[in-house]
Amino acid sequence: IKEAVKKEINPSPTDISYNTWFESLVPLCFDDNDTLILKAFADFHRDIVINRYSLVILNALRQLFSPHLSIKVILPEEVEKYKKFLKPKQDEKPEIVTQLNPKYTFETFVVGNNNRLAHAAALAVAETPPGERTYNPLFIYGGVGLGKTHLMHAIGHHVLKLYPGTKVMYVTSEIFTNELIAAIRDEKTDEFRLKYRNVDVLLIDDIQFLGGKERTQEEFFHTFNTLYEANKKIILSSDRPPKEINTLEDRLRSRFEWGLITDIQPPDFETRIAILSKKCQLEGTPVPQHILEFIASKIETNIRELEGALNKILAYSKLMAPDKEITLELAEKALKEFIDTNTKKELTIEDIQAEVASYFGIRLEDFKSSRRSRNVAYPRQIAMYLARELTNVSLPKIGEAFGGKDHTTVLHACEKIKELINTDSNTRNAVETIKKRLIHRE
């Protein structure tokens, strides 16, 4: 039907708004009154279709089929009423747009002091019935491996469980960006827009990577507005709060601050133990309490590593002493190996430059240039400071790696950043975040 009507209407291919609204309209069925039922995805979509296009569509239909036809535009919630007219094997598009990791649910998420608020907010958002107001957007930030992705998937699962049929979409900001680039390349930006503006719950992970990507930000801005106005849920995660995402457009930053911003901190000792025991319980492999305490005392900041350490010890014990209880000695050995392999790769100045560049959204060449404007000079000084602190490279060699700068320049940078760390919280946070990422880099 749709193709026929489209042909009849013959829209000009450049009429973007027309194509957008028409393409997203789904013809469902005819009811017993010769009325064609069309499904719109939201109030505003229905209104636009009725106001602008109902006449054109109607004329086309009457030309094509019968002069007695009429149309009716309904919302997704009303589909139920027309069930009896639906043909049995009418394939709807799959409702789950993205795969969610089945392990990342609220049931497997351990709540501690470090994440209590983030968890409560995530749960509240997930439980809010579709279309009702809630924290929007929900912005979750925190360091690497602290459970942001887990929490986002949990929201997705919970929404699907409570409100089946909801369109949930989870993407990383990298995927969002790559899809946009592909869409631009293939001249399919309309499809891209529709795909993202057609969802009920949009989860975008690691939004800090949008920093510096102007076109992506522009596109996301419009997606955000459309979803926001339709009261669709938007959940974002980042490794830092919006105000610290450099090269983020102000209009996006301010929108991120409209809803609720909540953080996840590193877990305390008790929470680390609780996470480990939960893991053991889920895997069905009991591990003595004092071994869990040992692991929790050794690995403090990153939950992904905490899990890695536990797995390493389990694997080790299976191999070395399959039928015996894990001893502290064995755990120590396994953990030492784990920590060694985890820190084996030596950090280079290039690693540091890459991480600092991505944090501040500057180019690698900027480190080597002699530009002194603050947005380049300050990250350069931070990179020099980190190179000094985290590698064994000498001052003159560090200077070389920054485009042949004098060793006194490097020394000056180190001292200045050291001082700023004590006096300026932005610098302190930046240095800490970058350090963490360097230490936990894959």
Q: What does the binding site for ligand ADP look like in residue numbers (CB under 6 A)?
A: 104, 108-110, 115, 142, 144-150, 275, 278, 303-304, 307
Task: Select the residue whose beta carbon is closest to ligand ADP and give its number.
Answer: 147
* Rounded least distance, CB 234 to Mg ion, Å: 17
128 binds Mg ion (CB under 5 A): no
Q: Which stretch binds Mg ion (CB under 5 A): 120-128, 145-153, 217-225, 283-291?
A: 145-153
Question: Out of Mg ion, ligand ADP, none, which partner does residue 146 contact, by CB within 5 to 8 A per kind?
Answer: ligand ADP
Question: Out of ligand ADP, Mg ion, none, which partner does residue 150 contact, by CB within 5 to 8 A per kind?
Answer: ligand ADP
Beta carbon nearer to Mg ion, 149 or 381: 149
262 binds Mg ion (CB under 5 A): no
Q: Which stretch binds Mg ion (CB under 5 A): 149-157, 191-199, 239-247, 393-401?
A: 149-157
CA nearest neighbour of 273 among 248, 296, 305, 254: 296
Beta carbon nearer to Mg ion, 72 or 440: 440
Question: Out of ligand ADP, Mg ion, none, which partner does residue 156 contact, by CB within 5 to 8 A per kind?
Answer: none
* Rounded least distance, CB 178 to Mg ion, Å: 17
149 binds Mg ion (CB under 5 A): yes
* Rounded least distance, CB 199 to Mg ion, Å: 20
Beta carbon nearer to ligand ADP, 309 or 410: 309
Beta carbon nearer to ligand ADP, 298 or 412: 298
Give dist(CA 240, CA 331) in Å, integer.
Answer: 34
Question: Out of ligand ADP, Mg ion, none, which partner does residue 46 contact, by CB within 5 to 8 A per kind?
Answer: none
* Rounded least distance, CB 168 to ligand ADP, Å: 17
Q: Which stretch binds Mg ion (CB under 5 A): 8-16, 148-156, 215-223, 333-341?
A: 148-156
Beta carbon nearer to ligand ADP, 140 or 383: 140
Question: Out of ligand ADP, Mg ion, none, which partner does residue 71 contact, by CB within 5 to 8 A per kind?
Answer: none
* Rounded least distance, CB 171 to Mg ion, Å: 12
- Please state the three-class secondary structure of the chain as a single string: CHHHHHHHHCCCCCCHHHHHHHHCCEEEEECCCCEEEEECCCHHHHHHHHHHHHHHHHHHHHHHCCCCCEEEEECHHHHHHHHHHCCCCCCCCCCECCCCCCCCCCCCCCCCCCCHHHHHHHHHHHHCCCCCCCCCCEEEEECCCCCHHHHHHHHHHHHHHHCCCCCEEEEEHHHHHHHHHHHHHCCCHHHHHHHHHCCCEEEEECHHHHCCCHHHHHHHHHHHHHHHHCCCEEEEEECCCHHHCCCCCHHHHHHHCCCEEEEECCCCHHHHHHHHHHHHHHHCCCCCHHHHHHHHHHCCCCHHHHHHHHHHHHHHHHHHCCCCCCCHHHHHHHHHHHHHHHHCCCCCHHHHHHHHHHHHCCCCHHHHCCCCCHHHHHHHHHHHHHHHHHCCCCHHHHHHHCCCCCHHHHHHHHHHHHHHHHHCHHHHHHHHHHHHHHHCCC
Beta carbon nearer to ligand ADP, 113 or 341: 113
* Rounded least distance, CB 148 to ligand ADP, Å: 3
Task: Select the residue whose beta carbon is closest to Mg ion and give its number.
Answer: 149
